[in-house]
C-alpha cells in the first residue's frame, strides 16, 4: 500500500513538473514577437520530434499511407508534421493576435476565410447543425472564427492527459472559443442538448476510438466514432466540413464547405457506418492535399503495440 502511494505521488509530481515547464515555456514565448516565437518552436519541434519514440510511429504511418512515396519524401513530410506541431503550440499563445480577418479590409491579413456566406447564413437562420474538422493546420482557429462571426458553436474537445495542464487549457479555450464540452462519458448528451436547443456543435472526427465502427482510412482498417452520425440520425441536422490550411508566410486559410449529403438506407434512415466512412474519406482527401499539416504521430491505426 505504501509503495502504491509512493508511485502515485511520484507520477503526480512528474505531471506537475511537466506542466510547470510547459507553462513556463509558453510564458517565455509570450515575450517574443509572434512570428519569431512560432518559427522558433517550428525549429525546436523539427529537432526534438525525430528523437522521440513517436517518430517511429510517424514514419510507419506515413509509409503505410503513402506506399508510392520515396523514403526521402516520407522523412520530409514527417519533419514538416513535427514543425506543424511546434507552430501549433506557439500559435496557441497568440490566437487572439493571429486571427485578424476583416471582410472590410482591402488587403488580406494573416487569415483569409472561405465560405463567409455559409457562416452568415448559419448565424442569421439559426438551426441545429454540426461542423466537423480534423487535426490539420491550426484547427484551433476554427472555433475562434465561428465566435468572431457571432456563430454560437459548442465544441467537443479532448483535454490533455496532464490534469495540471487540462485546467489551464480549458480556461484559455473557453475565453476564446465559446462553449466547450470536454470529451468524456457524458459529452454526447451535452452536444445533444445544444442541437435540441437549435444550436451548432463542432467535433474532430479523425481520432482513434477503440469501440468505434469498422471503417477504412487510407485503405487500412480503423475504428471511427459513430457520435456524429448518431446525432444526425436523432436531429436530422446539416453537416458542414471545415478545415484550416497553412499558407506561406505564416498565413492561414479557413474553409467552411457546403453541407455534405448524408448516406441513407433504403428506408430513409441515416446509414451510420456509411456516414462514418464518408467522414474518413473527406479527412483523407484533406490530408492527401497537405500531408505535412496533419499530426501523424497519432496512433490512428492502432499499430503502436506492434512497433
pLDDT in tens, 271-298: 999 999 999 999 999 999 999 999 999 8
Calculate the CA 166 to chain-centre distance.
16
Count other C-beta atoms under 10 Å from residue 6's C-beta: 10
Over residues 82-112, the pLDDT tens digits come to 999 999 988 888 887 888 887 777 677 889 9
The confidence score (pLDDT) of residue 272 equals 94
So where are the chain's domains? 32-293
Alpha carbon distances (Å) from 204 to 108, 172, 302: 28, 19, 18
The whole model's pTM is what?
Answer: 0.88
Q: In what order do the strands lie in the sheet with 153-157?
A: 111-114, 251-256, 238-247, 129-133, 200-204, 153-157, 180-182
Write down the residue that cell numbers 487535426 correspond to: 135
The CA angle 225-229-234, to the nearest 5 degrees, is: 130
> Shortest CA distance to 206 belongs to which of 294, 290, 135?
135
Amino acid at each position: 500500500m505504501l509503495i502504491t502511494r509512493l508511485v502515485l505521488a511520484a507520477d503526480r509530481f512528474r505531471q506537475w513538473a511537466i506542466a510547470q515547464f510547459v507553462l513556463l515555456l509558453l510564458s517565455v514565448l509570450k515575450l517574443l514577437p509572434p512570428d519569431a516565437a512560432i518559427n522558433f518552436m517550428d525549429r525546436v519541434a523539427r529537432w526534438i520530434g525525430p528523437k522521440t519514440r513517436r517518430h517511429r510511429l510517424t514514419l510507419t504511418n506515413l509509409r503505410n499511407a503513402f506506399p508510392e512515396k520515396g523514403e526521402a519524401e516520407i522523412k520530409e513530410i514527417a519533419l514538416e508534421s513535427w514543425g506543424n506541431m511546434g507552430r501549433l503550440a506557439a500559435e496557441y499563445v497568440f490566437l487572439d493576435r493571429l486571427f485578424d480577418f476583416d471582410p472590410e479590409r482591402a488587403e488580406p491579413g494573416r487569415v483569409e476565410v472561405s465560405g463567409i456566406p455559409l457562416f452568415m447564413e448559419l448565424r442569421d437562420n439559426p438551426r441545429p447543425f454540426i461542423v466537423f474538422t480534423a487535426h490539420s493546420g491550426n484547427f484551433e482557429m476554427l472555433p475562434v472564427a465561428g465566435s468572431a462571426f457571432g456563430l454560437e458553436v459548442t465544441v467537443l474537445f479532448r483535454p490533455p492527459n496532464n490534469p495540471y495542464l487540462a485546467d489551464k487549457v480549458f480556461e484559455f479555450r473557453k475565453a476564446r472559443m465559446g462553449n466547450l464540452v470536454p470529451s468524456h462519458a457524458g459529452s454526447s448528451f451535452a452536444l445533444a442538448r445544444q442541437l435540441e436547443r437549435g444550436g451548432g456543435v463542432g467535433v474532430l472526427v479523425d481520432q482513434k476510438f477503440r469501440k468505434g465502427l469498422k471503417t477504412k482510412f487510407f485503405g487500412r482498417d480503423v475504428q471511427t466514432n459513430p457520435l456524429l452520425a448518431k446525432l444526425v440520425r436523432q436531429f436530422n441536422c446539416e453537416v458542414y466540413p471545415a478545415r484550416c490550411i497553412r499558407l506561406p508566410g505564416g498565413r492561414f486559410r479557413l474553409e467552411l464547405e457546403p453541407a455534405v449529403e448524408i448516406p441513407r438506407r433504403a428506408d430513409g434512415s441515416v446509414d451510420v457506418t456509411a456516414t462514418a466512412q464518408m467522414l474518413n474519406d473527406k479527412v483523407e482527401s484533406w490530408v492527401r492535399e497537405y500531408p505535412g499539416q496533419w499530426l501523424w504521430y497519432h496512433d490512428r491505426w492502432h499499430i503502436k503495440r506492434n512497433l
